[in-house]
Amino acid sequence: MTIFPRSLLPRGLYGRALLILVVPIVTIQLVVSIAFIQRHFERVTQQMTGGVAVELKLVLSELDAGKPEEARLIARGLGFDVTKGPAPLTGVTRAFWDLSGRVVAETLAQEVPGFLGADLLAQEGRVLADFRQGDVVIRANFDRKRMSATNPHQLLVLMIATSILMTLIAYLFLRNQMAPILRLAQAAEAFGKGQHVPYRPRGATEVRAAGAAFLDMRGRIERAMESRTLMLSGVSHDLRTPLTRLKLGLSMLPEDDETEALLGDVADMERLVDEFLAFARGDATEDAEETDLAALLRRVVENAERAGQKVDLQGETQLVMRLRPAAVTRALENLLNNARRYGTQARITLTASGRSVRIAVEDDGPGIPMERRDEAVLPFARLEGARDPNRGGGVGLGLSIAADIARSHGGALRLGESETLGGLKAELVLAR
């Protein structure tokens, strides 16, 4: 159960860390301010007003004894005036934010007999209070500074200024701590896209440990990919030599049906070797470069049309982004080959958003059932029950190679159903 809705919480680590820092500071400020104002300033106001009340009772006792002149002299000497009031005040008039004004009125009512009311707004910086003495209403005029503290805001201003300063210092410190984490995330994201970004572990011990683990993992993955590529290259080279001898030997035999069948088998073996090597290599050795993806798609479509395939190209007419053009071309050719093998027409649609690019390849073939789409992208998977094997078979690496190339560009290969053509919709998503 969350206290706040998730939509209101910051998504980034910066925002969440600042929230962790700021919320306790603000809470402490509120608690201290409320406690200090309610306890300290109210108590101070009670003491100061109580002292004035003692002086006021002395003056009122002189008036009660019939000594008005002596009472006025004593009041003037004590710093306030007493006169006969006009219409008596009733209740307490104060600003709603004047918390100490309420304490002033309550203290006067408790300490001085005959209290009628007080006005804290009629004269700025003064307190007017009426008291009844028999049939006479006596009005006392006090300086507000004598009855309550006048600078509680200084404490609040000091607290706010100090909190802002400490929050700024905490932000700068947090920024220095977050920078190594962000650099690690950028290096990991770039490696997921097939890019090698220089990275050196820095920051706290835990961040350094995570960075060192990432470097070790990246090194092991790169060595494993290099070893796999070298091994498959050697195997491919060793296989091509006897295949070449077979082709040469078969070409010297009389041309008949058996010879033609054997030459077809040799060609299939060469194609299998090429596909195995492409799958093992994964184009990891190719460097990314700025490429017009729309122009690349036009070239792929032109090559497909020269081979006799009907392809409709739609979407963006120009889109420059950083990618590995040979790898993307191979992925698209594999998808178009699948569309040609199982359908009669194909459509390519290029769409772009702020964070990704989508290349949808659709055909009018039988498609792939939803429950078997995850299986279809596995290496060497051949869905004979879903696609017609009589229309040309593969080795089950076309979709797998396309999925690997999409992942190496920070994206994914998504399989669905074409709404317009009715066949398979293979969507190649590339991160921008």
Lowest mean pLDDT among 159-163, 183-187, 227-231, 290-294: 227-231
Is domain 12-150 in CATH 3.30.450.300, yes or no?
Answer: yes
Residues 216-226, mean pLDDT to the nearest whole number = 83
Percent of the chain with pLDDT over 70: 85
Please give the backbone phi and psi of residue 358, each rounded to the nearest 5 degrees, phi first: -120, 130
Per-residue pLDDT band for 6 (boundaries 50, 70, 90) equals: low
The pLDDT tens digits for 303-356 are: 888 888 888 999 888 889 888 888 888 889 888 988 888 888 899 999 988 888
Domain borders along the chain are 12-150, 285-431
CB 203 within 8 A of CB 180: yes
Of residues 270 and 117, more confidently modeled = 117
3-state helix/strand/coil string of 220-281: HHHHHHHHHHHHHHHHHHHHHHHHHHHHHHHHCCCCCHHHHHHHHHHHHHHHHHHHHHHHHH
Task: Say if 12-150 and 285-431 have the same CATH topology.
Answer: no
Q: What is the pLDDT of residue 193?
A: 67
Give the β-pairing of 424-431 and 356-363. antiparallel
Q: Quick check: 4 pLDDT over 60?
A: no
Q: What is the pLDDT of residue 385?
A: 46
The token duo for 385 is 């029950």
Residues 243-250, mean pLDDT to the nearest whole number = 80
Architecture of domain 285-431: 2-Layer Sandwich (3.30)
Q: What is the pLDDT of residue 358?
A: 93
CB 285 within 8 A of CB 310: no
pTM over 0.85: no
Q: Quick check: 22 pLDDT over 70?
A: yes
Alpha helices in 40-123 (DSSP H): 42-64, 68-78, 99-111
Mean of per-residue pLDDT scores for the chain: 80
CB atoms within 10 A of CB 278: 20
306: left (phi over 0), alpha (psi -120 to 50) or beta: alpha
Please give the backbone phi and psi of residue 178, each rounded to the nearest 5 degrees, phi first: -80, -25
